[in-house]
Chains A and B, each alone.
Chain A
Protein backbone atom coordinates (compact mmCIF):
# COMPACT_ATOMS: atom_id res chain seq x y z
CA UNK A 1 0.00 0.00 0.00
CA UNK A 2 2.67 2.43 1.12
CA UNK A 3 4.95 1.25 -1.63
CA UNK A 4 2.24 1.74 -4.24
CA UNK A 5 1.57 5.25 -2.94
CA UNK A 6 5.28 6.04 -3.21
CA UNK A 7 5.36 4.73 -6.77
CA UNK A 8 2.40 6.93 -7.69
CA UNK A 9 4.13 9.94 -6.17
CA UNK A 10 7.31 9.23 -8.13
CA UNK A 11 5.30 8.73 -11.31
CA UNK A 12 3.42 12.00 -10.89
CA UNK A 13 6.70 13.89 -10.36
CA UNK A 14 8.09 12.22 -13.46
CA UNK A 15 5.10 13.41 -15.49
CA UNK A 16 5.51 16.95 -14.16
CA UNK A 17 9.24 16.88 -14.96
CA UNK A 18 8.37 15.61 -18.45
CA UNK A 19 6.08 18.59 -19.03
CA UNK A 20 8.73 21.04 -17.91
CA UNK A 21 11.26 19.35 -20.22
CA UNK A 22 8.81 19.55 -23.12
CA UNK A 23 8.21 23.22 -22.35
CA UNK A 24 11.96 23.87 -22.32
CA UNK A 25 12.34 22.01 -25.60
CA UNK A 26 9.61 24.03 -27.33
CA UNK A 27 11.07 27.27 -26.02
CA UNK A 28 14.69 26.38 -26.91
CA UNK A 29 13.73 25.34 -30.44
CA UNK A 30 11.80 28.62 -30.65
CA UNK A 31 8.69 26.79 -31.93
CA UNK A 32 6.80 29.67 -30.34
CA UNK A 33 8.25 33.17 -30.36
CA UNK A 34 10.21 33.93 -27.14
CA UNK A 35 8.22 37.14 -26.91
CA UNK A 36 5.19 35.06 -26.00
CA UNK A 37 6.71 31.91 -24.53
CA UNK A 38 9.74 32.09 -22.27
CA UNK A 39 11.42 28.84 -21.34
CA UNK A 40 11.21 27.48 -17.80
CA UNK A 41 14.74 28.82 -17.26
CA UNK A 42 13.69 32.42 -17.95
CA UNK A 43 10.44 32.04 -16.03
CA UNK A 44 12.36 30.73 -13.03
CA UNK A 45 14.84 33.59 -13.24
CA UNK A 46 11.94 36.06 -13.34
CA UNK A 47 10.40 34.38 -10.31
CA UNK A 48 13.63 34.66 -8.33
CA UNK A 49 14.10 38.25 -9.45
CA UNK A 50 10.52 39.12 -8.50
CA UNK A 51 10.96 37.78 -5.01
CA UNK A 52 14.40 39.25 -4.40
CA UNK A 53 13.29 42.69 -5.58
CA UNK A 54 10.45 42.32 -3.09
CA UNK A 55 7.57 43.16 -5.37
CA UNK A 56 6.25 39.66 -5.88
CA UNK A 57 5.95 39.04 -2.14
CA UNK A 58 3.48 41.85 -1.69
CA UNK A 59 1.54 40.74 -4.79
CA UNK A 60 1.33 37.19 -3.45
CA UNK A 61 0.27 38.47 -0.04
CA UNK A 62 -2.41 40.61 -1.69
CA UNK A 63 -3.89 37.69 -3.58
CA UNK A 64 -3.76 35.44 -0.52
CA UNK A 65 -5.52 38.09 1.49
CA UNK A 66 -8.33 38.58 -1.04
CA UNK A 67 -8.74 34.85 -1.33
CA UNK A 68 -8.70 34.18 2.42
CA UNK A 69 -11.16 36.93 3.37
CA UNK A 70 -13.57 36.04 0.59
CA UNK A 71 -13.34 32.36 1.32
CA UNK A 72 -13.78 32.77 5.07
CA UNK A 73 -16.77 35.05 4.58
CA UNK A 74 -18.24 32.53 2.13
CA UNK A 75 -17.60 29.68 4.57
CA UNK A 76 -19.24 31.34 7.53
CA UNK A 77 -22.24 32.59 5.57
CA UNK A 78 -22.50 29.40 3.50
CA UNK A 79 -22.50 27.11 6.53
CA UNK A 80 -24.95 29.29 8.45
CA UNK A 81 -27.41 29.68 5.59
CA UNK A 82 -26.97 26.07 4.50
CA UNK A 83 -27.65 24.88 8.04
CA UNK A 84 -30.86 26.88 8.27
CA UNK A 85 -32.13 25.67 4.91
CA UNK A 86 -30.89 22.11 5.28
CA UNK A 87 -32.32 21.44 8.71
CA UNK A 88 -35.89 22.21 7.72
CA UNK A 89 -37.73 20.26 5.09
CA UNK A 90 -40.12 23.13 4.47
CA UNK A 91 -37.23 25.53 3.86
CA UNK A 92 -35.71 23.05 1.46
CA UNK A 93 -38.85 22.72 -0.62
CA UNK A 94 -39.44 26.48 -0.69
CA UNK A 95 -35.90 27.69 -1.19
CA UNK A 96 -34.36 24.96 -3.33
CA UNK A 97 -35.97 26.15 -6.62
CA UNK A 98 -34.60 29.68 -6.14
CA UNK A 99 -31.18 28.21 -5.41
CA UNK A 100 -31.34 26.16 -8.57
CA UNK A 101 -32.00 29.39 -10.44
CA UNK A 102 -29.16 31.33 -8.83
CA UNK A 103 -26.54 28.62 -8.74
CA UNK A 104 -25.78 28.17 -12.46
CA UNK A 105 -25.62 31.97 -12.85
CA UNK A 106 -22.02 32.71 -13.79
CA UNK A 107 -20.40 34.90 -11.18
CA UNK A 108 -19.03 37.06 -13.97
CA UNK A 109 -22.63 38.16 -14.52
CA UNK A 110 -22.80 39.79 -11.12
CA UNK A 111 -19.42 41.51 -11.37
CA UNK A 112 -20.84 44.52 -13.29
CA UNK A 113 -23.59 44.77 -10.69
CA UNK A 114 -21.04 44.65 -7.87
CA UNK A 115 -18.88 47.28 -9.58
CA UNK A 116 -21.90 49.52 -10.12
CA UNK A 117 -22.85 49.22 -6.47
CA UNK A 118 -19.48 49.19 -4.75
CA UNK A 119 -17.07 50.65 -7.28
CA UNK A 120 -13.60 49.31 -8.03
CA UNK A 121 -12.86 48.65 -4.37
CA UNK A 122 -11.68 45.98 -1.99
CA UNK A 123 -15.29 45.71 -0.79
CA UNK A 124 -16.37 44.88 -4.34
CA UNK A 125 -13.68 42.19 -4.56
CA UNK A 126 -14.68 40.72 -1.23
CA UNK A 127 -18.32 40.64 -2.27
CA UNK A 128 -17.64 39.01 -5.63
CA UNK A 129 -15.26 36.40 -4.21
CA UNK A 130 -17.59 35.54 -1.35
CA UNK A 131 -20.60 35.41 -3.66
CA UNK A 132 -18.87 33.01 -6.01
CA UNK A 133 -17.34 30.83 -3.29
CA UNK A 134 -20.49 30.53 -1.21
CA UNK A 135 -22.32 28.15 -3.55
CA UNK A 136 -20.31 24.97 -3.19
CA UNK A 137 -20.20 25.46 0.59
CA UNK A 138 -23.86 26.30 0.98
CA UNK A 139 -25.11 23.51 -1.28
CA UNK A 140 -22.82 20.98 0.42
CA UNK A 141 -24.05 22.13 3.83
CA UNK A 142 -27.69 21.83 2.77
CA UNK A 143 -27.02 18.34 1.50
CA UNK A 144 -25.08 17.39 4.63
CA UNK A 145 -27.80 18.65 6.96
CA UNK A 146 -30.55 16.98 4.97
CA UNK A 147 -28.69 13.67 5.02
CA UNK A 148 -28.28 13.39 8.80
CA UNK A 149 -29.38 9.94 9.93
CA UNK A 150 -32.94 10.43 11.29
CA UNK A 151 -32.23 7.88 14.00
CA UNK A 152 -29.68 10.28 15.49
CA UNK A 153 -32.31 12.97 15.78
CA UNK A 154 -34.44 10.46 17.69
CA UNK A 155 -31.50 9.74 19.98
CA UNK A 156 -31.23 13.49 20.54
CA UNK A 157 -34.94 13.76 21.25
CA UNK A 158 -34.92 10.98 23.80
CA UNK A 159 -31.94 12.68 25.46
CA UNK A 160 -33.94 15.93 25.43
CA UNK A 161 -31.03 17.76 23.87
CA UNK A 162 -31.44 21.48 23.20
CA UNK A 163 -31.76 22.75 19.64
CA UNK A 164 -28.32 24.27 19.82
CA UNK A 165 -26.80 21.03 21.14
CA UNK A 166 -28.47 19.09 18.32
CA UNK A 167 -26.92 21.42 15.75
CA UNK A 168 -23.42 21.39 17.22
CA UNK A 169 -23.24 17.80 18.45
CA UNK A 170 -25.27 15.95 15.82
CA UNK A 171 -25.96 17.88 12.63
CA UNK A 172 -22.71 19.78 12.10
CA UNK A 173 -20.34 16.85 12.75
CA UNK A 174 -22.53 14.60 10.64
CA UNK A 175 -22.46 17.11 7.78
CA UNK A 176 -18.77 17.93 8.21
CA UNK A 177 -17.47 15.66 5.42
CA UNK A 178 -19.82 17.37 2.95
CA UNK A 179 -19.05 20.84 4.29
CA UNK A 180 -15.29 20.35 4.10
CA UNK A 181 -15.56 19.02 0.55
CA UNK A 182 -17.56 22.11 -0.37
CA UNK A 183 -14.97 24.34 1.27
CA UNK A 184 -12.23 22.69 -0.75
CA UNK A 185 -14.08 23.35 -4.01
CA UNK A 186 -14.64 26.95 -2.95
CA UNK A 187 -10.96 27.48 -2.38
CA UNK A 188 -10.31 27.21 -6.12
CA UNK A 189 -13.26 29.45 -6.91
CA UNK A 190 -11.96 32.05 -4.46
CA UNK A 191 -8.51 32.02 -6.07
CA UNK A 192 -9.91 32.44 -9.58
CA UNK A 193 -12.18 35.29 -8.54
CA UNK A 194 -9.39 37.00 -6.59
CA UNK A 195 -7.36 37.15 -9.79
CA UNK A 196 -10.34 38.33 -11.83
CA UNK A 197 -11.13 41.11 -9.36
CA UNK A 198 -7.50 42.20 -9.20
CA UNK A 199 -7.38 42.43 -12.97
CA UNK A 200 -10.67 44.31 -13.22
CA UNK A 201 -10.22 46.66 -10.30
CA UNK A 202 -6.46 47.01 -10.40
CA UNK A 203 -6.16 45.79 -6.82
CA UNK A 204 -2.76 44.84 -5.50
CA UNK A 205 -2.23 41.16 -6.22
CA UNK A 206 -0.93 38.54 -8.62
CA UNK A 207 -3.78 39.24 -11.02
CA UNK A 208 -2.59 42.79 -11.36
CA UNK A 209 1.01 41.64 -11.75
CA UNK A 210 0.05 39.26 -14.54
CA UNK A 211 -1.96 41.97 -16.29
CA UNK A 212 0.85 44.55 -16.16
CA UNK A 213 3.46 42.00 -17.31
CA UNK A 214 1.28 41.03 -20.27
CA UNK A 215 0.74 44.63 -21.26
CA UNK A 216 4.48 45.30 -21.14
CA UNK A 217 5.27 42.08 -23.06
CA UNK A 218 7.36 40.87 -20.13
CA UNK A 219 6.45 37.28 -20.83
CA UNK A 220 8.90 35.83 -18.28
CA UNK A 221 7.31 37.89 -15.50
CA UNK A 222 3.89 36.91 -16.76
CA UNK A 223 4.82 33.24 -16.53
CA UNK A 224 6.35 33.71 -13.10
CA UNK A 225 3.00 35.09 -11.91
CA UNK A 226 1.05 32.26 -13.50
CA UNK A 227 3.35 29.67 -11.94
CA UNK A 228 2.92 31.31 -8.57
CA UNK A 229 -0.86 31.25 -8.97
CA UNK A 230 -0.73 27.56 -9.81
CA UNK A 231 1.43 26.92 -6.76
CA UNK A 232 -0.95 28.91 -4.58
CA UNK A 233 -3.86 26.81 -5.75
CA UNK A 234 -1.91 23.61 -5.22
CA UNK A 235 -0.57 24.46 -1.77
CA UNK A 236 -3.89 25.71 -0.39
CA UNK A 237 -5.67 22.65 -1.68
CA UNK A 238 -3.05 20.35 -0.14
CA UNK A 239 -3.36 22.23 3.16
CA UNK A 240 -7.12 21.82 2.99
CA UNK A 241 -6.77 18.09 2.34
CA UNK A 242 -4.52 17.75 5.36
CA UNK A 243 -7.01 19.62 7.52
CA UNK A 244 -9.80 17.41 6.21
CA UNK A 245 -7.77 14.32 6.94
CA UNK A 246 -7.25 15.42 10.53
CA UNK A 247 -10.80 16.54 11.15
CA UNK A 248 -12.29 13.42 9.59
CA UNK A 249 -10.00 10.87 11.22
CA UNK A 250 -13.11 8.98 12.31
CA UNK A 251 -13.94 8.34 8.66
CA UNK A 252 -10.60 6.72 8.02
CA UNK A 253 -11.52 4.22 10.70
CA UNK A 254 -14.68 3.42 8.78
CA UNK A 255 -12.98 2.86 5.47
Chain B
Protein backbone atom coordinates (compact mmCIF):
# COMPACT_ATOMS: atom_id res chain seq x y z
CA UNK B 1 0.00 0.00 0.00
CA UNK B 2 2.65 2.50 1.05
CA UNK B 3 4.93 1.52 -1.81
CA UNK B 4 2.11 1.86 -4.28
CA UNK B 5 1.25 5.31 -2.96
CA UNK B 6 4.88 6.34 -3.35
CA UNK B 7 5.16 4.96 -6.81
CA UNK B 8 2.01 6.72 -7.93
CA UNK B 9 3.11 9.92 -6.24
CA UNK B 10 6.34 9.83 -8.18
CA UNK B 11 4.39 9.65 -11.40
CA UNK B 12 1.46 11.92 -10.72
CA UNK B 13 2.58 14.32 -8.03
CA UNK B 14 0.79 14.55 -4.71
CA UNK B 15 -2.80 14.33 -5.91
CA UNK B 16 -4.38 10.98 -4.94
CA UNK B 17 -5.33 9.12 -8.06
CA UNK B 18 -9.06 8.73 -8.28
CA UNK B 19 -8.72 5.16 -9.40
CA UNK B 20 -5.59 3.20 -8.63
CA UNK B 21 -4.77 -0.35 -9.66
CA UNK B 22 -1.97 -1.71 -7.53
CA UNK B 23 -0.45 -4.95 -8.77
CA UNK B 24 -3.86 -6.28 -9.77
CA UNK B 25 -4.12 -9.88 -10.90
CA UNK B 26 -7.42 -11.47 -11.80
CA UNK B 27 -7.93 -15.18 -12.33
CA UNK B 28 -11.27 -16.31 -13.74
CA UNK B 29 -12.08 -19.97 -14.27
CA UNK B 30 -8.45 -20.96 -13.69
CA UNK B 31 -7.23 -18.53 -16.34
CA UNK B 32 -5.17 -15.45 -15.58
CA UNK B 33 -7.00 -12.68 -17.42
CA UNK B 34 -5.15 -9.69 -15.96
CA UNK B 35 -1.65 -9.93 -14.50
CA UNK B 36 0.07 -7.49 -12.17
CA UNK B 37 -1.62 -4.38 -13.53
CA UNK B 38 -0.62 -1.11 -11.87
CA UNK B 39 -2.22 2.06 -13.06
CA UNK B 40 -3.37 5.38 -11.62
CA UNK B 41 -5.99 7.65 -13.09
CA UNK B 42 -5.89 11.29 -11.99
CA UNK B 43 -9.09 13.09 -11.11
CA UNK B 44 -10.45 14.66 -14.25
CA UNK B 45 -8.21 12.65 -16.54
CA UNK B 46 -9.52 11.08 -19.75
CA UNK B 47 -7.77 7.72 -20.09
CA UNK B 48 -8.25 5.53 -23.13
CA UNK B 49 -7.51 1.82 -23.24
CA UNK B 50 -6.91 0.02 -26.52
CA UNK B 51 -5.84 -3.49 -27.36
CA UNK B 52 -6.61 -6.52 -29.46
CA UNK B 53 -9.88 -8.34 -28.97
CA UNK B 54 -9.84 -10.53 -25.88
CA UNK B 55 -6.85 -8.84 -24.26
CA UNK B 56 -8.80 -7.90 -21.14
CA UNK B 57 -10.09 -4.35 -21.72
CA UNK B 58 -13.60 -5.07 -20.53
CA UNK B 59 -12.24 -7.05 -17.60
CA UNK B 60 -10.04 -4.14 -16.54
CA UNK B 61 -13.03 -1.82 -16.70
CA UNK B 62 -15.15 -4.18 -14.63
CA UNK B 63 -12.40 -4.22 -12.01
CA UNK B 64 -12.48 -0.43 -11.97
CA UNK B 65 -16.27 -0.54 -11.56
CA UNK B 66 -16.06 -2.94 -8.63
CA UNK B 67 -17.97 -5.59 -10.55
CA UNK B 68 -14.98 -7.92 -10.16
CA UNK B 69 -12.71 -8.21 -7.14
CA UNK B 70 -9.01 -8.77 -7.90
CA UNK B 71 -7.56 -12.19 -7.08
CA UNK B 72 -4.52 -10.37 -5.72
CA UNK B 73 -3.51 -6.72 -5.58
CA UNK B 74 -5.82 -3.80 -4.93
CA UNK B 75 -8.13 -1.42 -6.68
CA UNK B 76 -8.59 1.86 -4.82
CA UNK B 77 -11.09 4.61 -5.37
CA UNK B 78 -10.22 7.99 -3.84
CA UNK B 79 -7.67 6.17 -1.69
CA UNK B 80 -10.25 3.72 -0.34
CA UNK B 81 -10.29 0.04 -1.23
CA UNK B 82 -13.07 -0.76 -3.63
CA UNK B 83 -15.22 -3.56 -2.25
CA UNK B 84 -18.33 -3.20 -4.38
CA UNK B 85 -19.77 -0.99 -7.10
CA UNK B 86 -20.82 2.49 -6.06
CA UNK B 87 -23.00 5.23 -7.47
CA UNK B 88 -20.07 7.61 -7.93
CA UNK B 89 -18.76 5.29 -10.63
CA UNK B 90 -21.03 4.98 -13.64
CA UNK B 91 -20.49 2.41 -16.33
CA UNK B 92 -21.65 2.61 -19.92
CA UNK B 93 -21.89 -0.97 -21.12
CA UNK B 94 -20.88 -2.07 -24.58
CA UNK B 95 -24.21 -3.84 -25.17
CA UNK B 96 -26.66 -0.99 -24.65
CA UNK B 97 -29.55 -3.22 -25.72
CA UNK B 98 -29.10 -5.31 -22.59
CA UNK B 99 -28.30 -2.51 -20.18
CA UNK B 100 -31.60 -0.62 -20.59
CA UNK B 101 -34.91 -1.62 -19.02
CA UNK B 102 -37.16 -2.51 -21.98
CA UNK B 103 -40.32 -1.97 -19.91
CA UNK B 104 -39.41 1.60 -19.05
CA UNK B 105 -39.53 4.55 -21.40
CA UNK B 106 -36.50 6.72 -22.00
CA UNK B 107 -37.65 8.95 -19.14
CA UNK B 108 -38.20 5.91 -16.92
CA UNK B 109 -34.73 4.57 -17.62
CA UNK B 110 -33.13 7.86 -16.62
CA UNK B 111 -35.43 7.97 -13.63
CA UNK B 112 -34.04 4.66 -12.37
CA UNK B 113 -30.73 6.32 -11.53
CA UNK B 114 -32.47 9.30 -9.91
CA UNK B 115 -34.65 6.97 -7.82
CA UNK B 116 -31.56 5.06 -6.72
CA UNK B 117 -29.99 8.36 -5.72
CA UNK B 118 -33.02 9.17 -3.60
CA UNK B 119 -34.23 12.20 -5.54
CA UNK B 120 -37.82 13.13 -4.56
CA UNK B 121 -40.27 12.25 -7.31
CA UNK B 122 -41.43 15.85 -7.69
CA UNK B 123 -37.95 16.94 -8.77
CA UNK B 124 -37.36 14.10 -11.19
CA UNK B 125 -39.28 15.18 -14.33
CA UNK B 126 -37.38 18.43 -14.71
CA UNK B 127 -34.04 16.70 -14.21
CA UNK B 128 -34.96 13.93 -16.64
CA UNK B 129 -35.89 16.44 -19.29
CA UNK B 130 -32.64 18.29 -18.75
CA UNK B 131 -30.58 15.10 -19.01
CA UNK B 132 -32.37 13.91 -22.14
CA UNK B 133 -31.76 17.31 -23.70
CA UNK B 134 -28.08 17.11 -22.72
CA UNK B 135 -27.58 13.87 -24.64
CA UNK B 136 -29.59 15.10 -27.62
CA UNK B 137 -32.80 13.18 -26.97
CA UNK B 138 -35.33 15.92 -26.26
CA UNK B 139 -38.83 14.87 -27.21
CA UNK B 140 -38.07 11.16 -26.94
CA UNK B 141 -38.95 10.85 -23.26
CA UNK B 142 -42.00 8.66 -23.91
CA UNK B 143 -40.30 6.19 -26.24
CA UNK B 144 -39.37 2.69 -25.23
CA UNK B 145 -35.78 1.57 -25.93
CA UNK B 146 -37.10 -0.83 -28.57
CA UNK B 147 -38.45 2.14 -30.49
CA UNK B 148 -35.04 3.83 -30.59
CA UNK B 149 -32.04 3.40 -32.89
CA UNK B 150 -28.74 2.05 -31.55
CA UNK B 151 -27.26 5.53 -31.34
CA UNK B 152 -30.28 6.81 -29.42
CA UNK B 153 -30.16 3.87 -27.02
CA UNK B 154 -26.50 4.51 -26.34
CA UNK B 155 -27.26 8.19 -25.68
CA UNK B 156 -29.96 7.08 -23.30
CA UNK B 157 -27.52 4.87 -21.44
CA UNK B 158 -25.14 7.82 -21.19
CA UNK B 159 -27.98 10.00 -19.87
CA UNK B 160 -28.71 7.44 -17.17
CA UNK B 161 -25.03 7.37 -16.23
CA UNK B 162 -24.95 11.19 -16.06
CA UNK B 163 -28.00 11.03 -13.78
CA UNK B 164 -25.77 9.22 -11.29
CA UNK B 165 -23.63 12.39 -11.21
CA UNK B 166 -20.58 10.17 -11.30
CA UNK B 167 -17.08 11.17 -10.30
CA UNK B 168 -15.84 8.52 -12.68
CA UNK B 169 -17.35 7.46 -15.96
CA UNK B 170 -16.34 4.09 -17.36
CA UNK B 171 -17.16 3.52 -21.01
CA UNK B 172 -16.76 0.18 -22.77
CA UNK B 173 -16.58 0.62 -26.53
CA UNK B 174 -19.67 2.80 -26.28
CA UNK B 175 -19.69 3.66 -29.96
CA UNK B 176 -18.52 0.30 -31.28
CA UNK B 177 -21.75 -0.54 -33.05
CA UNK B 178 -22.47 2.88 -34.51
CA UNK B 179 -21.81 4.32 -37.94
CA UNK B 180 -18.95 6.76 -38.46
CA UNK B 181 -21.02 9.95 -38.54
CA UNK B 182 -23.03 9.17 -35.41
CA UNK B 183 -19.83 8.13 -33.77
CA UNK B 184 -17.97 11.38 -34.40
CA UNK B 185 -20.94 13.39 -33.19
CA UNK B 186 -21.12 11.38 -30.00
CA UNK B 187 -17.36 11.66 -29.44
CA UNK B 188 -17.66 15.43 -29.36
CA UNK B 189 -20.72 15.26 -27.14
CA UNK B 190 -18.91 13.06 -24.65
CA UNK B 191 -15.94 15.42 -24.63
CA UNK B 192 -18.09 18.45 -23.89
CA UNK B 193 -20.17 16.59 -21.29
CA UNK B 194 -17.03 15.45 -19.53
CA UNK B 195 -15.48 18.92 -19.73
CA UNK B 196 -18.64 20.36 -18.17
CA UNK B 197 -18.86 17.82 -15.34
CA UNK B 198 -15.16 17.41 -14.64
CA UNK B 199 -15.59 13.64 -14.40
CA UNK B 200 -12.71 11.22 -14.66
CA UNK B 201 -13.10 8.88 -17.63
CA UNK B 202 -11.78 5.49 -18.57
CA UNK B 203 -12.75 4.83 -22.14
CA UNK B 204 -12.22 1.46 -23.83
CA UNK B 205 -12.13 1.33 -27.60
CA UNK B 206 -10.92 -0.71 -30.53
CA UNK B 207 -10.44 2.40 -32.57
CA UNK B 208 -6.94 3.89 -32.24
CA UNK B 209 -7.92 7.22 -33.78
CA UNK B 210 -10.79 7.52 -31.34
CA UNK B 211 -8.49 6.81 -28.41
CA UNK B 212 -6.04 9.54 -29.38
CA UNK B 213 -8.78 12.00 -30.33
CA UNK B 214 -10.48 11.68 -26.94
CA UNK B 215 -7.75 10.88 -24.46
CA UNK B 216 -5.24 12.68 -22.28
CA UNK B 217 -3.45 9.39 -22.14
CA UNK B 218 -3.70 6.13 -24.09
CA UNK B 219 -2.78 2.73 -22.74
CA UNK B 220 -2.32 -0.30 -24.98
CA UNK B 221 -2.85 -3.70 -23.40
CA UNK B 222 -0.99 -6.87 -24.31
CA UNK B 223 -3.02 -10.10 -24.30
CA UNK B 224 -2.68 -13.41 -22.44
CA UNK B 225 -2.53 -12.30 -19.73
CA UNK B 226 -3.66 -8.69 -19.94
CA UNK B 227 -0.92 -6.20 -19.01
CA UNK B 228 0.22 -2.76 -20.07
CA UNK B 229 2.28 -2.81 -23.26
CA UNK B 230 2.45 0.86 -24.15
CA UNK B 231 1.53 4.14 -22.51
CA UNK B 232 1.30 7.39 -24.47
CA UNK B 233 0.60 10.90 -23.26
CA UNK B 234 -1.55 12.84 -25.69
CA UNK B 235 -0.44 16.45 -25.78
CA UNK B 236 -3.01 17.77 -28.18
CA UNK B 237 -4.79 21.08 -27.55
CA UNK B 238 -8.35 21.06 -26.23
CA UNK B 239 -11.08 21.51 -27.22
CA UNK B 240 -10.43 18.91 -29.86
CA UNK B 241 -11.75 19.32 -33.36
CA UNK B 242 -12.70 16.53 -35.74
CA UNK B 243 -10.75 18.04 -38.63
CA UNK B 244 -7.79 19.95 -37.24
CA UNK B 245 -7.00 17.59 -34.36
CA UNK B 246 -6.94 14.60 -36.65
CA UNK B 247 -4.53 16.42 -39.01
CA UNK B 248 -2.22 17.55 -36.22
CA UNK B 249 1.36 16.17 -36.66
CA UNK B 250 1.33 15.00 -33.04
CA UNK B 251 -1.90 13.08 -33.72
CA UNK B 252 -0.33 11.40 -36.71
CA UNK B 253 2.83 10.56 -34.77
CA UNK B 254 0.86 8.98 -31.89
CA UNK B 255 -1.34 7.14 -34.33
CA UNK B 256 1.71 5.67 -36.03
CA UNK B 257 3.23 4.62 -32.72
CA UNK B 258 0.01 3.00 -31.52
CA UNK B 259 -0.58 1.33 -34.85
CA UNK B 260 2.90 -0.25 -34.78
CA UNK B 261 2.25 -1.47 -31.24
CA UNK B 262 -1.04 -3.11 -32.12
CA UNK B 263 0.44 -4.67 -35.22
CA UNK B 264 3.28 -6.13 -33.16
CA UNK B 265 0.83 -7.62 -30.61
CA UNK B 266 -1.12 -9.30 -33.32
CA UNK B 267 1.89 -11.24 -34.60
Contact = CB atoms under 8 A, between A and B. Distances in A.
Q: Do A and B actually bind? A: yes
A35 interface: no
A253 B144 contact: yes
B96 to A, nearest CB: 10
Contact of A158 (B86, B144, B146): B86
Given A151-B98, A174-B103, A158 B67 contact: yes
A155 to B, nearest CB: 6
A86 B203 CA distance: 35
Max chain B Cβ within 10 angstroms of own Cβ: one of A149, A155, A174:
A155
Interface in B181-221: none
A160 B85 contact: yes
Interface residues of A, number: 20
Nearest to B160: A155
Interface residues of B, number: 27
Given A160-B116, A170-B101, A151 B90 contact: no
Interface string A151-178: 1101101111100010001100110100
Contacts of A176: 103
A151 B95 contact: yes
B113 interface: yes
A65 to B, nearest CB: 33
B112 A169 contact: yes
Interface string B28-48: 000000000000000000000
B93 A151 contact: yes
Contacts of B103: 173-174, 176, 250-251
A8 to B, nearest CB: 26
B115 interface: yes
A151 B57 CA distance: 17
Interface of B: 65-67, 84-87, 89-91, 93, 95, 98-99, 101-104, 112-113, 115-117, 144, 146-147, 164
Interface of A: 149, 151-152, 154-155, 157-161, 165, 169-170, 173-174, 176, 250-251, 253-254
29 contacts: A151-B93, A152-B99, A154-B67, A155-B93, A155-B112, A157-B67, A157-B85, A158-B67, A158-B85, A158-B89, A158-B90, A158-B164, A159-B87, A159-B112, A159-B113, A159-B117, A160-B86, A161-B116, A165-B115, A165-B116, A169-B101, A169-B112, A173-B104, A174-B101, A250-B144, A250-B146, A251-B103, A253-B146, A254-B144
